[in-house]
Structure 1
Amino acid sequence: MCPDWYAPCSDRARIRFKRKPLRRAIFQSRSEGGSNMEMRETDRPGDEGLARALGWFSIGLGVAELVAPRGIARMIGVRDHRILLRAVGLREMASGVGILTQRRPAGWLWARVVGDVMDLALVGAAFRSPRARRGRLALATAAVAGVTALDVVASRRLSRRPGEPEDDAIRITKSITINRSPEEIYRFWRDFRNLPRFMRHLESVQVTSDKRSHWMARGPAGKRVEWDAEIVDDKPNELIAWRSLEGSDVETPGSVRFQRAPGGRGTVVKVELLYRPPGGLLGSLVAKLFGADPDQQVAEDLRRLKQVMETGEIATSAGPSARRSRRLAAAS
């Protein structure tokens, strides 16, 4: 149930990451017929400043493309496409005005990201022209890629809701009901050597002590990722919480809870992860592009856990012989 690079954490233990959060929460207490806690976000001048800078940049670029499309074409090393460049200029100006006039401009920033992708495609197509100046085109491509990265960062930051991870971390929460007792599932999970049986991208887990283990998994593009993890909270038949140790390839604190389901229907298994992918935000986007979405992986791994616990095998689209081999592998 791990994303490809899964390793354990605790919701009790306070895990400190090296990266500082980009925004803070202020807790204010008040008493009106009792005390409660209220959380609100502070202003994030850095995020808003980046958005405004991108808005003005968009307007400036749009004006240049509208007024002097021929000069822009020469500068980036392509033929004079005045109509196309003016259309791009109008798009840039619309995005810039939207960013600067809207209180929450995340939608307009994402529109810029879409436009950036279109621009990269256009610049890439220009390389095929025999009249293209490839040196200037290469510089233009690098510039567009850099602006795209800034647009993605600003869009992600301003799209977050209160309580979401602050930087490039991904929060994952998944649960499933399994027709087995909490004691059985806890015992199976607590032996980490069982995890590769249902975690598709996990290659092996070597238990090095009562609380520590070494994990090996396949990351994006087949890259092997390794890390050491330690258990930070362990309540028999109720909770296992873990964190990856300092110096690991990935940071991924998490926990799994085993709660008896109502009506004697077995056990609700709930997994919570805070996962920071290799390569940061860009690595996460690339992983999703190639289908390695951690959120989806956790859901699929939980379904395989359910199959292993309830039937002793993992159903596949192959024939009975393949299912039998999976059953034998799980039992080994």
Structure 2
Amino acid sequence: MSEPYPFPSGPRPRRRGHRVLRVMAAFVVLVAIAAYLTVQYLTGGNGTPRCVVVSGADDGTSYEFTPEQAANAATISAVGTSRELPERAVTIALATALQESGLRNIAHGDRDSLGLFQQRPSQGWGTEQQIQDPVYAAGEFYEHLVKVDGYEALPLTVAAQRVQRSGYPEAYAKHEPDATLLAAALTGRSAATLTCEGRRETTGARTAYAGGPDAVRNALARDFGDGAFEAAGAVVSSEDGASAQASPPPSPTVSPVAGTVTIPLRDAGDENEVRQRGWKMAHWAVANSSRLGVERVSFAGREWVAESRAGAWRAVEGTAGDAAGSPTEVRIVTGQ
């Protein structure tokens, strides 16, 4: 019988190549982590454009969402307020759209359901094309909501269910806190509570819109209605300094700055009404900043600037009489 092969004596040779590879791999991982953290710091998030709405009560409550969702939420609110419906109606509509579509104008759903509210052509809500128009879809929701007796006093789930006839009626309740924050900002009750980074979003149906002052005017008229927009007497400053009026205006003073839309508020009512209408328009402009190329919005001594740290509102620099901070007009500056 042969003897077993003897094991080699002495220390084993070191595998320097493996150690070098491990060090290089660890270095690559550290570089990747550093790059990720840098993006997080610079963008305030994960590198994609974002919007945030916070509580006007300064209690730390907030809701983070995308520019596409913000634009759709702003449309839903604008359609409701243009019909002079209360904030509660807007809250119910927003909570419903959050549940049904995540505030996205989607082209699919259960059976033939479509759009923000997952309305069905086969159930008489309109044509496929109509339902996928956010203004039309929101208008149809409100048309049905106002027919619900005492909807303002009903629990949100009950009011929404009487419109939607959903198979999961309790699901609306979980969206009420976020919808409440959004409604307070978009109806103008809570000042300077909605911010967006203002960077162009590369996904979503709403990015097809062109930017610039004319696009802002058209979108204002579309969301709030021609009558409401004309009553505001909005003014667009053109490149040569000439001003185009939406209707015979209350003769506002407009600086000849290219790409600026000015919405006078002098005839909006008392001081509280002027303030609320101003913040409603200002928040609408911020919510639509990514799709309309809005770079700056100012009202009542506060200013939002695109791509600043999460687009936070700040005090307007300059003299107390600076028109950019006027409490009687909203100024929207675009990049075109």
| TM-score, scaled relative to structure 2 | 0.22
Q: Of the two structures, which has the highest relative contact order with CA contacts closer than 8 Å and spacing of 6 or more?
A: 1
| TM-score, scaled relative to structure 1 | 0.22
Higher strand share: 1
